[in-house]
């Protein structure tokens, strides 16, 4: 069986971008492939964090994986820091990683610019090496992620090739890179729609956990009235009807794509359905589709939280104690 790995950072709450760009696409894969889905807590400490919040977010993220339909009897679900080999491999890989490769990473440049030099730990720079070790450790074939991870995946591939070249030995060289490799070179799986869900308040920036305004994102566990309110207030434009793929209308394209994904319709059907609609008539449709799609996830996650509560699981208890793995 081909192998798939992926993960989400336990920072803040899981939002619609994480879901449509990644988690939702993991569900179908667990039936066909060997899948490993982890909660990448070690990546979450590369920016300032609160230990209590981190442990709560780690458990919450695990609950969301399960509530979204990850089946722990098919997939391996675990916390990255519980498997020490991730960090051990990272150290070995970092000795083969040219520092220039890391300096070029867009996410590093953006995050370090925001935080300021004095607040940037070395781990923010070496973050992609840890991500590469998460993937290469398991000789993964595919990695389902959103578009913002494309560059990190490219680095992972280059690093695998470099290690194979440097340390693959004679067999690797003799076979011209077709055998005797140390690492498999993994492929990203980036979905055709949903790979880049944009902010509700600015169609040119991506929906993110770190944006200061909660109005800019739909969190998977947002109550109905909060979702309705966020859609009511989200940014639109002054064109009269709705359309896909107009570069001057990023908000319109984004909201139509979200509608397409949560309603389960095709792009053509949505284009047809919405071509005569204005914002006033589209927003209630989108709100209803979102609430309906998220309802079972919210129901399931409530069940999981109540079970944990009833069985006496405390907030700071390690996830391994929950026997999820």
**How far apart (Å, rounded) are the C-alpha atoms in residues 158 and 98?**
11
Residue 35 in the binding site for ligand TYM (CB under 6 A): no
Cα distances (angstroms) measured from residue 60 to each of 53, 118, 150, 307:
10, 31, 26, 13
Is residue 2 part of the annotated active site? The answer reads no
**How far apart (Å, rounded) are the C-alpha atoms in residues 197 and 2?**
28
Write down the catalytic residue from 111, 184, 235, 267: 111
Residue 186 in the binding site for ligand TYM (CB under 6 A): no
Residue 146 in the binding site for ligand TYM (CB under 6 A): yes
Pick from 4, 93, 195, 252 the residue near ligand TYM by CB under 6 A. 195
The count of C-alpha atoms lying within 13 angstroms of the C-alpha of 2, restricted to the half-sphere facing its C-beta, is 11
Pick from 24, 43, 230, 293 the residue near ligand TYM by CB under 6 A. 43
Is residue 111 part of the annotated active site? The answer reads yes
- Is the separation of the CB atoms in 204 and 248 below 8 Å? no
Those residues whose C-beta lies under 8 Å from the C-beta of residue 47, and which sit 6 or more positions away, are 11, 111, 115, 124
Pick from 4, 12, 18, 36 the residue near ligand TYM by CB under 6 A. 18
- Is the separation of the CB atoms in 234 and 201 below 8 Å? yes
Residue of this chain nearest to ligand TYM (CB atom): 21
Site map for ligand TYM, 248-287, x if CB under 6 A? Answer: ----------------------------------------
Residue nearer to ligand TYM on the CB measure, 6 or 97: 6
Residue nearer to ligand TYM on the CB measure, 110 or 272: 110
Cα angle for residues 231, 224, 212 (degrees, 5° grid): 55
DSSP code at position 148: G
**How far apart (Å, rounded) are the C-alpha atoms in residues 111 and 44?**
13
CB of 307: closest distance to ligand TYM in angstroms? 25
CA 43 to chain CA centroid, Å, is: 12
CB of 258: closest distance to ligand TYM in angstroms? 10
CB of 199: closest distance to ligand TYM in angstroms? 8
Structure tokens at 108: 């590093």
Q: Which of 209, 221, 290 is nearest to 63 (CA)?
A: 221
Residue 154 in the binding site for ligand TYM (CB under 6 A): no
Strand pairing report for 142-144 and 76-79:
unpaired
Residue 227 in the binding site for ligand TYM (CB under 6 A): no
Residue nearer to ligand TYM on the CB measure, 152 or 283: 152
Q: Which residues are catalytic?
A: 111, 206, 209
* Residues engaged in binding ligand TYM (CB under 6 A): 5-9, 17-18, 21-22, 40, 43, 131, 134-135, 143, 145-146, 148-149, 152, 195-197, 206-207
């Amino acid at each position: 069986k081909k192998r798939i790995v992926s993960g989400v950072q336990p920072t803040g709450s899981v939002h619609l971008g994480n879901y449509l760009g990644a988690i939702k696409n993991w569900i179908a894969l667990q039936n066909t492939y060997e899948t490993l889905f982890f909660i990448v807590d070690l990546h979450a400490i590369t920016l300032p964090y609160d230990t209590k919040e981190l442990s709560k977010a780690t458990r919450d993220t695990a609950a969301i994986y399960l509530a979204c339909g990850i089946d722990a009897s098919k997939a391996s679900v675990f916390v990255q820091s519980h498997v020490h080999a991730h960090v051990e491999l990272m150290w070995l890989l970092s000795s083969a990683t040219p520092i220039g490769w890391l300096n070029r990473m867009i996410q590093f440049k953006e995050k370090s610019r925001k935080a300021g030099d004095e607040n940037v730990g070395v781990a923010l720079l070496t973050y992609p090496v840890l991500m590469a070790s998460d993937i290469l450790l398991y000789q993964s074939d595919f990695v389902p992620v959103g578009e913002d991870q494309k560059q990190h995946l490219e680095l992972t591939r280059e690093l695998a090739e470099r290690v194979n070249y440097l340390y693959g030995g004679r067999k690797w060289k003799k076979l011209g890179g077709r055998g005797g490799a140390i690492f498999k070179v993994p492929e990203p799986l980036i979905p055709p729609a949903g790979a880049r869900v944009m902010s509700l308040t600015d169609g040119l920036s991506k929906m993110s956990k770190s944006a200061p305004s909660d109005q800019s994102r739909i969190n998977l566990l947002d109550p109905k009235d909060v979702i309705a309110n966020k859609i009511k207030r989200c940014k639109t434009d002054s064109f009269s009807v709705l359309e896909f793929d107009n570069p001057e209308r990023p908000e319109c394209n984004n909201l139509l794509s979200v509608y397409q994904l949560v309603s389960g319709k095709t792009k053509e059907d949505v284009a047809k359905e919405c071509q005569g609609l204005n914002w006033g008539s589209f927003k209630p449709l989108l709100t209803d589709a979102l609430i309906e799609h998220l309802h079972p996830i919210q129901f399931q996650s409530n069940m999981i939280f109540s079970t944990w509560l009833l069985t006496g699981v405390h907030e700071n208890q390690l996830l391994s104690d929950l026997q999820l793995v």
